[in-house]
Structure 1
Amino acid sequence: MKNLIKFDAYPKTEEELNIKTISGATVTLVSSLIIFILFVNELHLYLTPHLKQNLVVDFSQGGKVDIDLDLDFPRLKCSELHIDALDISGSQQLGIRHNLYLDNLDINGEVVELKGSKNKVELGSSDDKDNEDEAVKAKENKSKLPEGYCGECYGAPSANPSGCCNTCQDVKEAYDATNWNFANSIGKFEQCIREGITTIRQLRQQTNENPTVEDPRNVGCKVNGQLSVNKVKGNFHIAPGKSSQRGRSHLHHLSTSIDKSKLNLTHVINKVSFGQDFPGVINPLTNHYHLQSHLGPKMFQYFVKLVPTIYFQKDTKTSIKTNQYSVYEYSRDLHQTSSSGLPGIFFIYDFSPIMVEIVEEKKSFFHFITQLFGLLGGIYSISSLIDNLLFRSLNSFQKKIELGKIY
């Protein structure tokens, strides 16, 4: 052991030869503080994944994109709102109901809780309360379906993930999505016959499970939920009046209770995202507010450019397929007779052919240790130089005072 102690590449100064000074203590404390701060920073950088982005051509075709919505209309009632989605492939979704809901808002923008009624209702549902017994009967018929039952959609693509049309309403939505005539064949569908539905009116009455209740406090509406669209250029919009399609024209029929001159489309976009969120994602339309300065029909258009994005997570070794976007906003008044268009909020989206790949990368442990040792060694060397410089300067100054050269 004694021989091992003698083998020392770093000479040690005898304890009695060490000089302890205030400047040396100050340099030691400051250096220790700097070392601690830089160590914490290096540890944070080591534990935080670094994101590497690559641009590639998007060869994927088809598929669906889920759009998450959360919008407030402080001065437009829920009974006046309808939402539709159209795209260049010819697909049309009119009066979308699935996975989109609305809440009544009062004058202060707070959700109205109505006694004896569920406040959250499906978007596009009717306000009628007729034939409640028929609705209960229809629900009983649905509950009697055999286990594993999968109803036929009669050639139309099902909107359900299971690919089945188990109810008359499912068949109708499948036909509407394909733009086929549902009303003329309603009496031929097994699902509709089982539920005792022979007309469109009966279907609307029986699907009215959560009716909105008109209340003097209801002055606004919150729309939230999710809608699914094809991965092609298209648009979806929220507009007053029931929608219909005549040839190539898309129309909204305002009820007699709606005065166009008093329309107020002031809206707050709490969130609009095209796909699942990932760490660090920025949605430009989050918490976007637009105040309509004067009453009357007005069209608000949001032109959205979507960039397909894949986020690779290193820890879970999974990937998130989503979309980032940029947006351009445009609005115009429709009260002039020369202006054409529909009053409402329109989101016109298009997909970029370029895809962004975001990969999480972490520094290796050996790289972290190397940087840490280099950091400690560098600070130690610099602090030693500063301490030596201060000691010599103060010592020289003290000698000059003793010699009387400085008064």
Structure 2
Amino acid sequence: MELGGMEVRHRRNTKPEEDHLAPSELLQNLDIFPKLPKECKKSTNSGGIVTILTLLLMFILFISEIYRYIDPDYVYSYEVDKDFEGKIQINIDITVATRCEYTSLDVVDVIGSTMSSKGKMKYHRATFELSGPRRVEFERRRDTANVLRTHHHVLHEALWKRHDVFFSEEEWEDILRREHRTPERGSHQDVYNACRMVGTLFVRKVAGNIHMVPGKPILGLGGAHVHIASLLDKEFFNFSHRIDHLSFGPRLRNRVDPLEAVEQIAHSPMETFQYYLSIVPTRVVHTFSTSDTYQYAVAMKNQSVNDTQQSKNIPGIFFSYDTFPLVIKVTEARELLGTFLARLAALVGGLFATVGYVRQILGVVPEFVHQTKFGRRLETRWSRCKHQLALKLNEAQSNGCATGNVNNMNPPPLDPDSDT
């Protein structure tokens, strides 16, 4: 706007601008962990010792947490077994003190199905008596199995570990090689007085029995499973036996079965050995794998068959088995990685915080005690003790100095030969 040739300009009404914070200053204002200057810090010997002990304890707890994460515990649960059509894998390695031509291993289930082991089992002529080194090896395995069976309630979690617990890698490979090892033989055919039966069978998931009796099996009327043993003399069979291994399902490294390294001696040819097995399906769930196997419990009974009972009972070895309708689920209880890292962070922070609180409490306690009547009395006594101790030290020091001066003032001894 112009007035009388003059131009009027409107000036902007500006206010002083506020100071803007730099990004670094803004971050410093947000710092909730303020740092004290070095001259405001005081380091002591006791503080250094406490720090070393704290770091040592933290290292021990840190290692224990890592080990707990790598090797977790197991949680047991139960569920109904819905797999009715599956088959059970039977792994067996047994030596019977009867020649292979006079006996065989056969399976019969409650449905009436008969399965011969021919083609599925390997029969090896063998000597029942073990030589020195193999006897020592068998006794060692039997002692180990007995200890593990006796203390299974303490070691049950170790049975499902993926790494070696009871057997080293070399021992485990030796166990697997033993199943395929040729039995020891004598120098003459007459030395063969036993039959070793090794192999794997697959049977239906129903009750049944595995038996070894005199004579080879034949099919009778209606497809019945029949053994004719009346033509064999008693001297041809002896059912003393040695069970090197009997398990159900896939082999697991650390599992020790009830019939592992078991030996039974028959005192007469007409002796019967009965094993009653309860098979329990088991599912082992690891972090990246799942294994389905079987456990079993066993009860054993043996009896002698006399001539009056021979028509009803026959000598032999019988494994009567039945399956349990529930599945035991063994789950590896490994926590999540985030939870594990949070536990480590809480461990470090909580340990330092706890030690700091303890040091503060220990620092306050002397002041609190000093303000009490008991504390003042204790301090007075301590002052008196220090004063008396100082007096005694000064007195002892004074006596020592006086004795030294007296010794220095004594004249030298007289010489009898001198003119004086």
Check whether TM > 0.5.
yes
User: Which structure: larger Rg?
Assistant: 2
Q: Determine the structure 1 residue equivalent to 2:258.
A: 284
Q: Is the 8 A contact 1:304 1:325 kept in 2?
A: yes
Q: Determine the structure 2 residue equivalent to 1:222.
A: 196
Q: Is the 8 A contact 2:273 2:318 kept in 1?
A: yes
Q: CA deviation at 1:53?
A: 4.1
User: 1:11–1:313: structure 2 CA closer, same or farther, 3 Å change rule?
Assistant: closer
Question: Which runs of structure 2 are paired with 1:126-165 in the superposition (5 Å)?
Answer: none
Q: Structure 2: state its 5+ residue gaps.
A: 1-23, 135-184, 390-420
Q: Is the 8 A contact 2:91 2:199 kept in 1?
A: yes
Question: Which runs of structure 2 are paired with 1:251-290 in the superposition (5 Å)?
Answer: 251-253=227-229, 256=232, 258-259=234-235, 263-267=238-242, 269-277=243-251, 283-287=257-261, 289-290=262-263
User: 1:388–1:255: structure 2 CA closer, same or farther, 3 Å change rule?
Assistant: farther
Q: CA deviation at 1:9?
A: 3.0
Q: Is the 8 A contact 2:92 2:197 kept in 1?
A: yes
Distance in 1 between residues matched to 2:342 and 2:109, nearest whole Å:
55
TM-score (norm 2): 0.59
User: 1:385–1:91: structure 2 CA closer, same or farther, 3 Å change rule?
Assistant: same
Say which of 27, 41, 45 aligns to 2:68.
45
Letter in 2 for 1:266: H
Q: CA deviation at 1:92?
A: 1.1
1:7-51 per-residue CA deviation (whole Å, 9 max, x = no partner) reads 543455665642422x54443333323322222222233234654
Distance in 1 between residues matched to 2:193 and 2:226, nearest whole Å:
27
Q: Structure 1: state its 5+ residue gaps.
A: 113-211
Distance in 1 between residues matched to 2:193 and 2:133, nearest whole Å:
10
Q: Which has the higher contact order (CA 8 A, sep 6+)?
A: 1
Say which of 100, 120, 125 aligns to 1:99.
120
Distance in 1 between residues matched to 2:120 and 2:215, nearest whole Å:
20
Letter in 2 for 1:39: F
Say which of 279, 300, 306 aligns to 2:279.
306
Q: Determine the structure 2 residue equivalent to 1:347.
A: 319
Distance in 2 between residues matched to 1:252 and 1:91, nearest whole Å:
19
RMSD between aligned alpha carbons? Answer: 3.9
Letter in 1 for 2:325: P
Q: Determine the structure 1 residue equivalent to 2:301.
A: 330
Q: Is the 8 A contact 2:238 2:266 kept in 1?
A: no
Larger helix share, 1 or 2: 2
1:263-283 per-residue CA deviation (whole Å, 9 max, x = no partner) reads 25132x222222224576553
Distance in 1 between residues matched to 2:198 and 2:113, nearest whole Å:
22
Q: Determine the structure 2 residue equivalent to 1:374.
A: 346
Q: Does 1:403 align with 2:383?
A: yes
Q: Determine the structure 2 residue equivalent to 1:138.
A: none
Q: CA deviation at 1:87?
A: 0.8
Report how many aligned residue pairs link the two structures.
300
Question: Which runs of structure 2 are paired with 1:49-60 in the superposition (5 Å)?
Answer: 51-60=74-83
Q: Is the 8 A contact 1:296 1:335 kept in 2?
A: no
User: 1:308–1:59: structure 2 CA closer, same or farther, 3 Å change rule?
Assistant: same
